[in-house]
């Protein structure tokens, strides 16, 4: 799945970074978690800002040696460490929005990771569970295994939770998760049926999700394939054979998580059932399990949106809405908004829009603020930009991009013309304006009838116009107009 995500039609950017997290035995004989870069560019150079992590815990997943709480306890410190990924230059992975995906026992594991992150005050943007099946827990009775896994739960520090499960397989079945968008899958023939004849529907759940990332037909995860038969049978009509479900509701996919639609049919659950409804975050319905502990260490950006039109002229005021939680209620957090030419806050091609101080909210509240700022037409070029926010308490920083692009058109402020000299030939005019403005220079002998001489686009704030024909007239007037 991770390999196919950058090939999604919704993927923004041309490059990415992929790592594997795995357990190793160090020189002191201690089992520790390590990482290996599998491919892609340095994450600080990526234009997408996307980092894909494959967590490999296979040597402890036999059902006897470790439960999912133990694995999560080892993983979370690595996400918080500033030196776990050296290429990030001292930045921890949790600075960026987190999307955790897990299948079967992995569903229990990612839920437990969110709980432990929540204990540090860290919010998780999305939790995706695929046929979650904790061992010897949540009503399951797995006689042949000795461990007891963590329950599959959606906690209050998860913004959006989606769960795809089936209850038709024997002996392995998934389960619904309270507070998630629960999509029960009822037609899962084919796929893994040949390679995994016992309980193949359990494996078909992750193949189903794979088919929402790779929407080609056929599509393969190198173990089983989605053919035309599966495309037509596995998804509801409104899910467009996998194109408008599953991965579509990620930050990359860009789907509306607050939608009132019920893809699987009336009474099966709205998409917004998975959106955190504990606080006023825009209309979500999802209930959440309380965190046993939360020290509020990390400030969090939960949502960032451009209000009103996403296309403005430079120099005009635009407004941005920010939702945040800063668990240290006695101290302020620093908020900054930036324009960015791509989707990576680390590669130093951003322009700061504004800066302000936000009060702490405590761990039992979420606040929102509308921030207005005028975009400087002198220092900012017209174009299409991403907008991101940065929140920091001085020790911990998190980033979040708005889902909407911002289109900046040239300033509407009128240009000015100033004669450079009136004695030389050709006659010269200085043009003062703003980058990207398309100007029409016109002339007249009576200020009533005007003739267009040239149309040009300013590359900077100043330009020069030479009129070689000026000496042919006893008098001549000039004006500059903005071209529509």
Chain segment 347-357, per-residue pLDDT in tens: 989 999 999 99
**284 within domain boundaries:** no
Question: In this structure, are 390 and 330 located in the same domain?
Answer: yes
Question: In this structure, are 305 and 258 located in the same domain?
Answer: no
Q: Which of 363, 389, 409 is where one domain is finished?
A: 409
**280 within domain boundaries:** no
Question: In this structure, are 147 and 257 located in the same domain?
Answer: yes
Question: In this structure, are 163 and 15 located in the same domain?
Answer: yes
Question: In this structure, are 236 and 360 located in the same domain?
Answer: no
Judge contact between 371 and 405, C-beta under 8 A.
no
pLDDT value at residue 422? 62
Question: In this structure, are 254 and 368 located in the same domain?
Answer: no
Q: How confident is the model at residue 423 (pLDDT cuts 50, 70, 90)?
A: low
Question: In this structure, are 398 and 422 located in the same domain?
Answer: no
Q: Which of 257, 274, 291 is where one domain is finished?
A: 274
pLDDT, one tens digit per residue, over 109-124 is 999 999 999 999 999 9
Question: In this structure, are 307 and 395 located in the same domain?
Answer: yes
Whether 193 has a pLDDT exceeding 80, the answer reads yes
pLDDT value at residue 137? 87
Question: In this structure, are 138 and 198 located in the same domain?
Answer: yes
pLDDT value at residue 108? 97
Task: Give the structural domain span for 239.
Answer: 5-274
Q: Residues 165, 170, 173, CA angle at the centre, nearest 5°? A: 25
pLDDT, one tens digit per residue, over 251-295 is 999 999 999 999 999 999 999 999 999 999 999 999 999 999 999
pLDDT value at residue 144? 83
**329 within domain boundaries:** yes
**394 within domain boundaries:** yes
Question: In this structure, are 383 and 265 located in the same domain?
Answer: no
Whether 139 has a pLDDT exceeding 90, the answer reads no
pLDDT value at residue 424? 66
Question: In this structure, are 262 and 310 located in the same domain?
Answer: no
**279 within domain boundaries:** no
- Overall domain count for the chain: 3
Share of the chain above pLDDT 90, in %: 86
For 388, other C-beta atoms within 10 Å of its C-beta total 22
pLDDT, one tens digit per residue, over 40-96 is 999 999 999 999 999 999 999 999 989 999 999 999 999 999 999 999 999 999 999
Question: In this structure, are 44 and 177 located in the same domain?
Answer: yes
**119 within domain boundaries:** yes
**283 within domain boundaries:** no
Q: Which of 409, 434, 458 is where one domain is finished?
A: 409
**286 within domain boundaries:** no
Contacting residues for 350 by C-beta, under 8 A, at least 6 apart: 338, 339, 340, 341, 388
Query: What CATH number corresponds to the domain at position 353?
Result: 2.60.40.10
């Amino acid at each position: 799945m991770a390999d196919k995500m950058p090939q999604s039609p919704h993927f923004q950017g041309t490059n990415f970074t992929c790592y594997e997290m795995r357990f190793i035995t160090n020189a002191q004989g201690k089992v520790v978690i390590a990482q290996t870069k599998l491919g892609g560019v340095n994450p600080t150079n990526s234009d997408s800002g996307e980092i894909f992590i494959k967590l490999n815990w296979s040597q402890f997943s036999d059902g006897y040696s470790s439960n999912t709480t133990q694995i999560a306890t080892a993983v979370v410190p690595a996400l918080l460490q500033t030196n776990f990924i050296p290429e990030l230059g001292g930045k921890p992975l949790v600075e960026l929005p987190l999307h955790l995906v897990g299948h079967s026992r992995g569903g229990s594991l990612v839920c437990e990771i969110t709980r432990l992150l929540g204990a540090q005050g860290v919010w998780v943007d999305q939790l995706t569970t695929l046929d979650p099946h904790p061992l010897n827990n949540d009503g399951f009775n797995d006689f042949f295994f000795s461990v007891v896994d963590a329950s599959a739960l959606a906690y209050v520090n998860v913004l959006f939770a989606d769960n795809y499960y089936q209850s038709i397989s024997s002996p392995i079945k998934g389960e619904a998760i309270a507070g998630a968008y629960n999509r029960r899958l009822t037609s899962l023939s084919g796929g893994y049926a040949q390679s995994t004849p016992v309980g193949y529907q359990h494996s078909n759940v992750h193949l189903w999700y794979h088919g929402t990332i790779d929407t080609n037909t056929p599509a393969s995860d190198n173990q089983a394939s989605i053919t035309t038969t599966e495309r037509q049978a596995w998804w509801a009509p409104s899910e467009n054979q996998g194109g408008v479900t599953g991965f579509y509701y990620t930050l990359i996919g860009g789907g509306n998580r607050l939608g009132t639609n019920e893809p699987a049919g009336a009474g099966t659950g709205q998409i917004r059932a998975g959106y955190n409804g504990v606080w006023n975050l825009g209309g979500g319905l999802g209930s959440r399990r309380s965190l046993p502990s939360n020290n509020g260490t990390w400030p969090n950006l939960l949502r960032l949106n451009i209000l009103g039109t996403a296309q403005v002229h430079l120099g005009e005021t635009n407004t941005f809405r920010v939702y945040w939680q800063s668990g240290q209620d006695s101290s302020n957090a620093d908020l900054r908004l930036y324009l960015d030419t791509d989707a990576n806050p680390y590669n130093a091609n951003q322009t700061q829009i504004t800066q302000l101080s936000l009060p702490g909210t405590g761990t039992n509240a979420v606040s929102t603020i509308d921030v207005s700022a005028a975009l400087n037409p002198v220092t900012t070029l017209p174009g299409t930009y991403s907008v991101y926010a940065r929140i920091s308490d001085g020790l911990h920083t998190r980033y979040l991009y708005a889902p909407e692009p911002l289109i900046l058109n040239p300033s509407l402020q009128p240009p000015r013309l100033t004669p450079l000299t009136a004695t030389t030939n050709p006659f010269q005019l200085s043009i003062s304006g703003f980058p990207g403005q398309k100007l029409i220079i016109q002339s007249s002998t009576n200020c009533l009838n005007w003739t267009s001489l040239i149309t040009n686009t300013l590359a900077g704030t100043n330009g020069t116009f030479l009129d070689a024909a000026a000496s042919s007239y006893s008098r001549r007037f000039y004006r500059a107009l903005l071209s529509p």
